[in-house]
Amino acid sequence: MKDTAKHQGLRNQLVSLLQQKGITDKNVLDAISKIPRHLFLNSSFEDYAYQDKAFPIGAGQTISQPYTVAFQSQLLEVKKDDKVLEIGTGSGYQTAVLYAMGAKVYSVERQNELFKKTSVLFPKLGIRPKHLSFGDGYKGLPLHAPFDSIIVTAGAPIIPKPLMAQLKIGGRLVIPLGEDVQIMTLLIRKNATQFEKHEFGEFRFVPLLEDKN
Catalytic residue of the set 64, 91, 107, 149: 64
- Is 44 a catalytic site residue? no
| DSSP codes of every residue in the chain | ----HHHHHHHHHHHHHHHHTT---HHHHHHHHHS-GGGGS-GGGGGGTTSS--EEEETTEEEPPHHHHHHHHHHHT--TT-EEEEE--TTSHHHHHHHHTT-EEEEEES-HHHHHHHHHHHHHHT---SEEEES-GGG--GGG--EEEEEE-SBBSS--HHHHHTEEEEEEEEEEE-SSSEEEEEEEE-SSS-EEEEEEEEE--PBP-SS--
Residues noted as catalytic: 64
